[in-house]
Chain A
């Protein structure tokens, strides 16, 4: 059983939902990434989504783009993402880590070589924002060859046919992008999320994560009630922007700040009476 499968099975048995924080590798400083990953797990995160910085993050809003620019000032590369996960795995061999990035980094690395290195580092799944299933044949076989789950996004604009098409190739979980727009946008409508998640569940037998627009504990709880996992990105990354100076005190403050946010989300999600789940383990 993969780390992702084990994680969702465990949560299902406990009647809890996954909390998935997103951070950009190397933001606000490369030294912060690994301690922050451990701290997030301690604060209640079940899966970690680790961004690989790209110069042209077309699908991201200003908050994540600024994080990528900060990381690129330290020349953070795919190799640095792998190194961070390798270091994280020395103390934590349970928490799944998903890498999220853009295709060009993987194209340049070569699909096979990328999959091998990611897998060796202890990465469990890959989200590539600009890789739709139509183009993904070689990519999927390379990832699967390396034992990695190709995680795909589903959007509000995805038709039922597209949802089924994505379901046919995805593994690990699927990630419902709960807003039209870029990361960090506002105005999440939980009712429409619930409806769409229902439509996805009819067609895909994988856990469903929901992200984009989840910035506080209450929204996290409401969204978790109708899904299997909640992804929190911009709300965390925003907190990095306030901690640009690099010293041990600042690192501690970043960690405390992020842990508090995740802690409050964890608490609200666990307190929320869980809606009936039709999916079986």
Chain B
């Protein structure tokens, strides 16, 4: 097969190229005002990534502040009930602040410190990245401003309060669809205006180069740990990996260290909302087409004239019309298979994991759970798969109660 020979020649670690391209995706599509700042960031990141002292500080913070390594948990009851492959959960929900987001905010805050920037800004959807940014800003004594869609502020009020407690200013964004993409627009505007003293901590593997690469590298600790943990536990590599994909940072974090392991199948799970066929979803890889938004070329949800269309997902963290450019590339070359899980399927998986394993997953991670359990059922008991449990679900209980008509 020609595809096999192509796959063998791919050097995943050579991606992106020096201008930030993953095949035709990625790059830097921003206004001129930011180009110099992105050059500086690229150079600073390059220096940090080869600097032993920086890496040592990052590793120490991950160990003692975040609480890494996160466990790889064998969900035995769930595996038995499913009747297929052995299901392992990578417990990113047990990190400080309750999700994988903090791996990246620690890394970027250390970089901000190294660059002498004392003000950090962030965009947030579900609020997890905002909380993770406000947390590290508090720890490093930095001024912190978080942009959040006005609609998400309503959906995720506990996280808004957490950010405020941590000393961050939360700025509601009322333009456009009042969700994550608009918060990102507003954060970019802040950065353009205050570029001299401000570091923009992007929360996912999207945005202009070097963000997709930098965030991937910071999140890759997930996959590196999972790889050695599963080898230790089962003596072999897993047969499959499953992770949810909004912007795609937890998924890339898990997948990246396994990309060259050809026997490991990978599945990215997008938010199917009311169902792909209804058009009310947030699944650009499953149902979008390539375009340019937020500084990179990638798959987007857009109309035929190129306007970005409103997305829908029960999970605020997946409610985004774009996706990291590396995922677009991995889709095109066929290394990762992308599918979608509907709101209802995710809600069922939420209850299933909660009741069977005593773990309340975030709604984002519930998408990965739903797909992973379906996949496991088609596999053999001697096989194994790892599902990235990217965050805990405490933040979502109000949303779920409301959907199910329960008064708290």
Give A residues with C-beta under 8 Å from B.
Answer: 54-59, 61-62, 65, 69, 72, 77-79, 102-109, 129-132, 134-135, 152-159, 162, 166, 177, 180-182, 185
B 351-398 contacts with A by CB, 8 A: none
Residues of B within 8 A of A109 (CB): 306
A-B contact count (CB 8 A): 121
Can you list, as one digit per residue, whether each of B11-30 has a CB less than 8 Å from chain A (1) or not (0)? Answer: 00000000100000001111
Given known A108-B302, A158-B35, A180-B33, contact A65–B19 (CB-CB < 8 A): no
Cα distance, A103 to B306, chains bound together (Å): 9
Residues of B within 8 A of A130 (CB): 29-31, 292, 295
Give B residues with C-beta under 8 Å from A.
Answer: 19, 27-37, 175-176, 181-182, 185, 188-189, 192-196, 290-295, 297, 300, 302, 304-309
Residues of B within 8 A of A61 (CB): 189
Cα distance, A136 to B356, chains bound together (Å): 54
B29 contacts A132, C-beta separation under 8 Å = yes
Nearest CB to that of B196 among chain A residues?
A180
Interface CB pairs A-B, < 8 A, 9: A102-B292, A103-B29, A104-B302, A108-B302, A132-B29, A157-B33, A180-B192, A182-B189, A185-B193
Cα distance, A132 to B71, chains bound together (Å): 44
Cα distance, A132 to B36, chains bound together (Å): 11
Q: Which of A55, A57, A107 has the most CB of B within 10 A?
A: A55
Given known A154-B32, A177-B33, contact A54–B307 (CB-CB < 8 A): yes
B305 contacts A77, C-beta separation under 8 Å = yes
Residues of A within 8 A of B175 (CB): 62, 65, 69
Cα distance, A77 to B194, chains bound together (Å): 32
Residues of B within 8 A of A153 (CB): 31-32
Residues of B within 8 A of A157 (CB): 32-37, 195
Cα distance, A174 to B291, chains bound together (Å): 26
Cα distance, A134 to B36, chains bound together (Å): 12
B300 contacts A156, C-beta separation under 8 Å = no
A202 CB to closest chain B CB (Å) equals 18
Nearest CB to that of A109 among chain B residues?
B306
Instruction: From A104, A159, A162, A182, give the contact of B306 (CB < 8 A).
Output: A104
A78 contacts B305, C-beta separation under 8 Å = yes
A134 contacts B302, C-beta separation under 8 Å = no
Given known A56-B181, A58-B189, A78-B305, contact A156–B33 (CB-CB < 8 A): yes
Residues of B within 8 A of A177 (CB): 31-33
Nearest CB to that of B35 among chain A residues?
A132
Cα distance, A109 to B292, chains bound together (Å): 12
B305 contacts A135, C-beta separation under 8 Å = no
Instruction: From A56, A78, A79, give the contact of B176 (CB < 8 A).
Output: A56
A236 CB to closest chain B CB (Å) equals 20
